[in-house]
Structure 1
């Protein structure tokens, strides 16, 4: 795993270099702050970045950082057996930590509402990575289930009671 993490760090630093946004990437200090607790973190050190550069890397609704994270996971896990693959989170300026807290709160609100009303709850406006996180978070909840409906870019996550006919 250490060599895979080191490769991810080097790959991300090289990508940022190609983008003209040279930065150091660290891999420590983010244990247990993600919904997916088995993820490994690649943190971009933003010292020296302007607010505009930070926003450019995060993108609108996190689209840029999600794309970078998707590429990182694809490339770092390339040619690895599925059981040898790892999940990587790309962090920048606390964005992922804050967004994970927002997703946890949103998930709690949805689960409370489903249990209260017995009606399914639709959560629109999530990226595919965020939908995956909520699916993961609720996968072992006995009375609830999740599914995604619709086509991108209007795909929505549905939280509903397990064994519901809705």
Structure 2
């Protein structure tokens, strides 16, 4: 029932004369977590991954060409067209973070990086060390620090 109701919510055809010919719904904001499965298995659908898709996420796996996905214990063949739009990331990149750090009147004694993939975090840490001579720690899962 959950899948069927989710399908109805996402794919009711527009009413005659409606200016909205196509439905667009964010996967992360759907009423039922199973709804993306209905999009994924339809060849008429396009999944638009907006912003950076981290390793291991459903978005990244689909962009990498995975043929089937499991969502809420249901297996779905990926028949939809998978596209990406990187221009709308909500996270600052290396240059924005370095610019933010340059604005400090008194640079912090220690910088902690706690979000990002390993290679990107290492590159950012090295850039911070190089430019500011700062101590930089890259936090690992469940790691704590005494301040």
TM-score band, normalised by shorter chain: 0.3 to 0.5
Q: TM-score, normalised by structure 1?
A: 0.31
Q: TM-score, normalised by structure 2?
A: 0.33
